[in-house]
Amino acid sequence: ICTEGMSTECCSKILSGFKPPYSATVINKLKNSGAVILKAKTNMDEFAFGSSTENSCFGPTHNPWNLETVPGGSSGGSAAAVAADEAVAAIGSDTGGSIRQPASFCGVVGLKPTYGRVSRYGLIAFASSLDQIGPLTKDVRDNALIMNVISGHDPLDSTSVDAAVPDYLKSLGRDVKGIKVGVPKEYFVEGMDSQVKDITLEALNKLNKLGVLQKEVSLPHTEYAVPVYYIVATAEASSNLARFDGVQYGFRMGRDKTKTLLDMYQKTRDEAFGDEAKRRIILGTFALSHGYYEAYYLRALKVRTLIKQDFDRVFGDFDCIVTPTSPTPAFKMGEKSKDPLKMYLSDIYTISANLAGIPAISIPCGFTKQGLPVGLQILAKPFAEEMLFRVAHAYEQNTQWHKMKPKL
């Protein structure tokens, strides 16, 4: 997220030394509200490509709850900073779960707003139709407070929606009795960690005691979310990252090692992009190439529409949907870094919200026997962040999970 005069490198060598001449809209809004912006950036996966914050040119970030485990990703540095009391709140970007999954792993609150609710002006793009900026905080009230500041239409962002922004703090403390919650059966599948399943069911039972009405629902196209996401997201990433060539800013391979302009482009990008960035650029370029565009990219867009229609249908009868945030708690450092497909499946429960453009929040709902946090995800219809805060706050006020702190 661009911050004027401050190194903004997306944890990539390709942007080494880059200092933007302007700040993102969210940064300006926070400053204008009186927020103190720390003179530092948190760690992340390179260009938000990852689910563990291990894909950073600066090295990995460790989970404050267990230094042998990952904090999640890609906004793992933001989540870890909030969990470790290094900041009251942090800002991250969420393209397929990059706020919610690290929030779950680090035991904090993370919100992905509706697509278009928060300006993306000044956000260095990964996948433009999926990216959304949101807050990570210690509790739901702080999250609502930050959203009051950063939400709203911005003429500098063509995808920003001109819709009235309510006072999210007013949604806190309201009774949740009678609210209809759908629990999708596709999110409780084989391979899900048994402790995560049990803790999630306990959280659902707590909501039931608060008067929330629950019923099993179906989101039948959920099984296609991961392949659809990794076609659409990589295709958009390959286009967005084409601008980084070493000519105007960032890293450039020296003249003594290059012979022609094309040679400079090739060697600069080969040297400065990490393995995961290269993988996604190649996958995206392939999906958009002649002969494969219709077979992969256009077909993925059609299935993306079906996924959104699944949510539209459920929200016709229900106020929100409740699921686990992640199928597992935080995993060990290096456990999945050599297996991209295994890593990609870490976001299986969060990806659909980005494909559908709907808001979703992750809140702490318990701990495993190993002392690792588990997150509960709540999803609502577009621009219904008030409903998310209402349900999340009601649950939070009747539990103690958000008050737990790691021993540092």
pTM reported for the whole predicted model: 0.96
In 3-state terms, what secondary structure has residue 381? coil
Domain of residue 228, residue span = 13-247+266-403
Counting beta carbons within 10 angstroms of the beta carbon of residue 116, is it exposed (0 to 12), middle (13 to 18) or buried (19 or more)?
buried
Closest listed residue to residue 99, CA positions, set 118, 77, 115: 77
118: pLDDT strictly greater than 80: yes
What confidence tier does 341 reach under pLDDT thresholds 50, 70, 90?
confident
Would residue 253 count as lying in a domain?
no
The secondary structure of the chain in percent helix, strand, coil, rounded to multiples of 5, reads 40, 10, 45
Per-residue pLDDT tens over the stretch 86-99: 999 999 999 999 99
Per-residue pLDDT tens over the stretch 266-311: 999 999 999 999 999 999 999 999 989 999 999 999 999 999 999 9
39: pLDDT strictly greater than 80: no
Would residue 87 count as lying in a domain?
yes
Q: Walk across the sheet containing 320-324 and list its strands.
A: 89-93, 133-137, 109-112, 360-367, 373-380, 320-324, 180-184, 213-217
Contact at 8 Å (CB) between 168 and 385?
Answer: yes
Per-residue pLDDT tens over the stretch 364-382: 999 999 999 999 999 999 9
- DSSP H or E stretch at residue 217: strand 213-217
What confidence tier does 408 reach under pLDDT thresholds 50, 70, 90?
confident
What confidence tier does 189 reach under pLDDT thresholds 50, 70, 90?
confident
Would residue 3 count as lying in a domain?
no
Question: Residues 207-213: what's their mean pLDDT?
Answer: 98
Question: Residues 149-167: what's their mean pLDDT?
Answer: 97
Would residue 257 count as lying in a domain?
no
What is the number of domains present in the chain? 1
Region of 332 (left: φ > 0; alpha: ψ -120 to 50; beta: rest) is beta
Closest listed residue to residue 244, CA positions, set 58, 46, 78: 46
Write down the pLDDT at residue 79.
Answer: 98
Contact at 8 Å (CB) between 81 and 42?
Answer: yes
Would residue 340 count as lying in a domain?
yes
338: pLDDT strictly greater than 90: no
CATH number at residue 94: 3.90.1300.10
What confidence tier does 159 reach under pLDDT thresholds 50, 70, 90?
very high
Would residue 61 count as lying in a domain?
yes
Rg (alpha carbons) of the chain, rounded to whole number: 20
Would residue 260 count as lying in a domain?
no
What confidence tier does 168 reach under pLDDT thresholds 50, 70, 90?
very high
Would residue 252 count as lying in a domain?
no
Question: Residues 128-141: what's their mean pLDDT?
Answer: 98
Q: Tell me which of 3-17, 30-44, 66-80 is least confident.
A: 30-44
What confidence tier does 213 reach under pLDDT thresholds 50, 70, 90?
very high
Write down the pLDDT at residue 149.
Answer: 98
Per-residue pLDDT tens over the stretch 219-241: 999 999 999 999 999 999 999 99
